[in-house]
Amino acid sequence: MNKIVDEIIDLMKSAGTRPIETGVPGLWMIKGDIPAHQLAALYEPMIGFTVQGTKILSIGGRSTTLEGPSYYVVPVHVPATASVHPDRDGRTYMSLGLELNQNVLQSLLRDLPENLIPTASEHFAACEIDIEFMEAWLRLLRLTNKPRDIPALAPAYEREILYRVLMGSQGWYLRQLGLSESNFSKISQIVKWLRDNFMRPIDIGEMASKSGMAINTFHRQFKRATGLSPIQFQKQLRLLEARNLIAYEGYAVTSAAYQVGYQSTSQFNREYSRFFGSSPARDTKKLRLIESARD
C-alpha cells in the first residue's frame, strides 16, 4: 500500500492550496496548508480521498476527522467548515476529489443486482480504503500523464470507484441518490432549489409537500441527507454568500446582511460570529490580509 500512496503523491506534485483540475473530468487535487476560510464553503456532491494528513470537517454541530489514507462521501451539496493538518510525521495534507456523476451512478445501479448493495449506512465518516480501491484512484490519476487515454479509460475507472463506494459503508447514500423516487433523491432536488433561492423565505410545509412527505418525515430525511435542518442549511448558505460580498466585493456589513435575506443586522452579526468564529469586520479584515499575501 505504501508504494501506491507514494506514486499517488508523486502524481500530485503540481497540486497547490487551491483546487486544481487534473484534466480528467471531475477529478481535482489539492495539498498544503489550506486557509480555513477557503474550506468554509458549499461542498459539492463528491467522493473525497484524503491521501495524507488530516481534514476536520464540520457540518452542523458535528465534526468528523478524516485522516489519510481514507475516503468519504458527500452525497448532496452541503455548507461546511473545515481545517487541514499535516500527518503525525509532519507531511503535508493532500487530497483528491471526484465529483459525483449522476448519470454514471444510475447506469451502474441498473447493472447491479439490487440485493448486492448495502441497505443501510453509517453516518458521515472517514471510511477505510483498501488496496484495490486505492489502485482504482491511482489508475485514474495516472491518466493525467496520458491525456489521449482519458476518453476511453476514465469512465471505466470512475465507474470502478463508484462501485467500490457502493459496496462500502457509505454505499447506501449513493444508492439512494441514484434512485429517482427515493426520499433521498427527492431531498437532493430540494437542496438544489435552496441553493438557488436561499435569499427567499422558505415554507417547510410547501417543501415537504413538493417532496411528497409529511413535515416530520421531511425534516428527518433532510437532516439525514445534509446533517442540517432546512433552516440551518439556508442560514449557512446566506452566511457564506454574505462573507463573499463583504470580503471580496466591498459590501458593508449591513448591506451584505440585507442582500442575503437578513432583516436584523444584530442577528446577522451573532450568527456570523458563531459560524465563522469572529465578527464580520474582524473576519473579513483577516481574509483580505491572507489573500493579499498569497497574490
Digit-coded pLDDT (tens) for 240-260:
999 989 888 888 999 999 999
pLDDT of residue 250: 84
pLDDT bracket for residue 119 (50, 70, 90) = low
Domain ranges of the chain: 2-176, 180-189+201-226, 232-294
Residue 295 has pLDDT above 60, yes or no: no
pLDDT of residue 210: 85
pLDDT of residue 113: 79
Digit-coded pLDDT (tens) for 130-148:
999 999 999 999 999 999 9
Point out which residues pair with 82 in neighbouring strands.
57
Alpha helices in the chain (DSSP H): 2-11, 36-39, 102-111, 131-142, 150-166, 171-178, 183-197, 204-211, 215-226, 230-248, 253-259, 265-276, 280-294
pLDDT bracket for residue 238 (50, 70, 90) = very high
Q: Domain 2-176 sits in which CATH superfamily?
A: Jelly Rolls (2.60.120.10)
Residue 1 has pLDDT above 70, yes or no: no
- Integer angstrom CA distances of residue 186 from 28, 37, 123: 28, 31, 19
Digit-coded pLDDT (tens) for 70-96:
999 998 899 999 999 999 999 999 999
pLDDT of residue 198: 87
Burial of 61: CB neighbours in 10 Å, binned 0-12, 13-18, 19+: exposed
C-alpha cell at 5: 500512496
Mean pLDDT of 6-29: 95
% of the chain beyond a pLDDT of 90: 55
Greater confidence (35 vs 7) lies with 7
pLDDT bracket for residue 224 (50, 70, 90) = confident
pLDDT of residue 291: 67
Greater confidence (10 vs 61) lies with 10
pLDDT bracket for residue 225 (50, 70, 90) = confident
Residue in 231, 205, 227 with CA at minimum distance from that of residue 218? 205
Q: Domain 232-294 sits in which CATH superfamily?
A: Homeodomain-like (1.10.10.60)
pLDDT of residue 218: 92
The torsion of the CA quartet 232, 55, 26, 196, rounded to 10 degrees, works out to 10
Peptide bond into 280 cis (omega under 30): no
The dihedrals phi and psi of 258, each to the nearest 5 degrees, come to -70, -35
CA angle 163, 224, 178 (to 5 degrees): 35
Residue 123 has pLDDT above 90, yes or no: no
Mean pLDDT of 205-218: 90
- Which distant-in-sequence residues (6+ apart) come within 8 Å of 5 by Cβ? 51, 52, 69, 134
Maximal C-alpha separation, the chain: 56
Q: Do domains 2-176 and 232-294 have the same CATH topology?
A: no
pLDDT of residue 99: 96
Average pLDDT, the chain: 89
pLDDT of residue 118: 65
- 3-class SS at 89? coil
Provide the residue type at 258 as one letter.
Y
Q: HSE (CB half, 13 Å, CA atoms) of 237?
A: 24
C-alpha cell at 135: 489502485
Residue 179 has pLDDT above 70, yes or no: yes
